[in-house]
Amino acid sequence: MAGPQTVWGIDVGKSAFKAVRLRQSGDGVEVVSTDYIEHSKIMSQQDADPDALWSSALEKFLAKNDITNDSIVIGVPGAQTLARFSKLPPVENKKKIPDIVRYEADQQIPFDMDEVVWDYQVFEAEGNPDVEVGIFAIKRELIRDHLVHFDSQGIEAVAVQAAPLAAFNAMHYDGLVGDEATVIIDIGTESTDLIVGTESSLWTRSIQLGGNNFTEALVKAFKLSFSKAETLKRTAATSKYARQIFQAMRPVFADLVQELQRSIGYYTATHREVNIGKVYGMGNAFKLPGLQKYIKQNIQLDLIKVDRFNKIKLPDAEGGAGDASNYSVAYGLALQGLDLSKVNSNLLPPEIAMASVWKKKRPFLAASAACLLLTAGVVWFRGMADRNTLELNSGDHNVSVSEDNAWSTILSPPNTLPPRPYGQLISSAAEKLKSHHSQLSSQGTIELEKAKKIEKLLANRTTWVKILSAIHSALPSPPDPIKDATNSEEYLAAIQSAGLTRDKRGEVFIRSLTSQFVADIDVEDDQFPKGDYWDANTKEFPKKGSEIRPGFIIELRGYAPHKEVSGSDALEKGLYVNRTYVKSLREAGRKPGQGFFFNKINLTVAEEREVGSGRKGRNEKPKPKVGPRTKDSLTGEYTDDDYHFHIMIQVVLTDLPEEEEKK
């Protein structure tokens, strides 16, 4: 994007406002000025007023800096944006790439396209036919909430960029990214941005762990207020209690390293041709005693903290204002404003960008309007003269044409008409055809929209039938005497003739089935209690990767009559349901080639529906029941001992992976 001589890159974080002003100087750039304004409170504190902190920081910035003739590029947190990367199929005509990317974006972005602002970046390596594209998006409501603070102060941005992409631009321009993969770990207040990039590729992920997690660990360990714990964290390096502080924060260290290992492992598995070179650390969190060493030892890669940049010199300052890595995002944003960035995607809403362009063109439009009026006057006078000439030769002619003969008039116009009637006749025929074309086009649009809606309705129709079939086929088979019963009368006669009492029939009944579609099944773990899948040793959720897996959360509610088991309490009855129906569900839902598989199945703890006071303990005698007992409306048998269960099934809408088939 073209810009003026100087550009501000502005990065508003949860703990501080950071800005860098750059201008081109020869073949490079120079820092004109910087600004670092620490908020009086961290925005995420419970007693903080984020809007007031925003306003205060912007007012202080404008009081010290004149931005009248400067361009502004603004950063947004990586945790608020979505990044997806994919390789495109071979394309001979590069002009088709935007259409292919549009299709990819529609598949990759888990929101309605009207709800997001998105852009993309193409990555190509010289001599390599593969084309990789990065798709970046942010929800419109989030970008509006972010920009409204700047708008209230009269600050107009020419571009908006995600913080991790801006940090990559800074490191790339500064010569720290080469042919080998460079890992950048930027630890912020609420999240950590992991960026892996080369000269011709990029991959990012936001991890929901940041400086606040270390502070909250100290709050719990030492029973401090958040502000006092924050002060203790910042002075940990010089505190005589540094060891105790480190021990209190160690669980957060471990969680952060675990996420870094998982992310880097995913990248290396999907980019086997790339070798990881250097790892750079940025952010105030790296001032914590032992953090840099701890990460380095666990990821087994050399970790270098960014203390300065190679191609710019920042003014000397103390505290956070003197930490070069705090300016990396603002540095990258300003570079983009100077057209010196590797990634130039822009998340500024198009309508805002257009309004800004028209506002700047207003003075030129006024001058242009004056010229147009003068030109229009000359044309008008000439037109009047020509019109008078034509009227002299026009005569009295019928120039109307119907829609039916409009096309024949265009193909074979009469050659006996004077110039003016001839022109009117052709124009009238063209208008008739244009009107007819518009009608047909609108009809086609309506039909196309109907077809798209029908296509959406039919999506997954066969898969859903297979899912229901798997749930039904897993139900226990009834005994032979009642297997062939087709109605309630035959069923009742069969159990009476065979003498099969309620507790001998081995039946499981489904009372209700509800389902919920989710765009990414792996972010719906709160639907399942931790005990069902949480690994207490590794403290992680298995199979939780970066790929998006759509699916369903299915909820079954039902009951099973009491089965003869070693005990009579709800636990033993639950074991019966688990050993029969749940076991069969796992088998039916994990067959290859179905287009889906049951990933997690959870049988919640349920108990007998007692009519009286309390539940029987495992080693207690049954308590007396009070009140009327319940009966089966068909058989007349008592149902007090039925086991009522609740089953949650996590269905992933992909074929069962090969490694899962072997289990």
Q: What is the pLDDT of residues 222-244, one digit of tens each?
A: 999 999 999 999 888 888 888 88
625 three-state secondary structure: strand
Position 566 pLDDT exceeds 60: no
| Torsion sign, CA atoms 518, 519, 521, 524 | negative
What's the average model confidence in pLDDT over 525-531?
46
Cα distances from 337 to residues 91, 136, 355, in angstroms, run 31, 18, 18
DSSP 120-159: EEEEE-TT---EEEEEEEEEHHHHHHHHHHHHHTT---SE
Cα distances from 170 to residues 1, 5, 303, 364, in angstroms, run 17, 19, 18, 36
Query: Is there a contact between 563 and 551 (Cβ–Cβ < 8 Å)?
Result: no
Instruction: Give the range with max mean pLDDT: 10-19, 44-53, 229-238, 380-389.
Output: 10-19
Q: What is the pLDDT of residues 425-469, one digit of tens each?
A: 778 878 777 777 777 766 666 666 666 655 655 556 678 888 988
In the chain the domains, ranked by start, together with CATH numbers, are 1-174+309-348 (3.30.420.380), 176-308 (3.30.420.40), 371-455 (no CATH), 461-661 (no CATH)
Q: Which is higher by pLDDT, 601 or 623?
A: 601
- Strand-pair partners of 201: 198
Query: Is there a contact between 637 and 631 (Cβ–Cβ < 8 Å)?
Result: yes
| Residue among 136, 137, 185, 146 nearest 12 (CA) | 146
Q: What is the pLDDT of residues 151-188, one digit of tens each?
A: 999 999 999 999 999 999 999 999 999 888 999 999 99
**Contacts of range 311-316, beta carbons closer than 8 Å, 24 or more positions apart:** 311/28, 311/29, 311/173, 311/174, 311/175, 312/22, 312/29, 312/30, 312/31, 312/174, 313/31, 314/20, 314/31, 314/34, 315/31, 315/33, 315/34
Tokens representing residue 79 in the block = 């945790």
Tokens representing residue 563 in the block = 């089965």
pLDDT given at position 84: 92
Measured CA angle at 76 (ends 74, 79), to 5 deg: 170
What's the average model confidence in pLDDT over 22-28?
91
| Residue among 263, 52, 247, 74 nearest 150 (CA) | 74
| Residue among 275, 240, 531, 164 nearest 232 (CA) | 240
What's the average model confidence in pLDDT over 289-315?
89
Q: Which residue reads 């009469």 in tokens?
A: 414
Q: What is the pLDDT of residues 64-119, one digit of tens each?
A: 999 998 999 999 999 999 999 988 877 777 888 888 899 889 988 988 999 999 99
pLDDT given at position 365: 55
Q: To the nearest 10°, report the CA torsion of 235, 241, 246, 251.
A: -110
Q: What is the pLDDT of residues 411-427, one digit of tens each?
A: 777 767 777 777 777 78
Query: How many angstroms separate the CA atoms of 628 and 372, rounded?
Result: 93
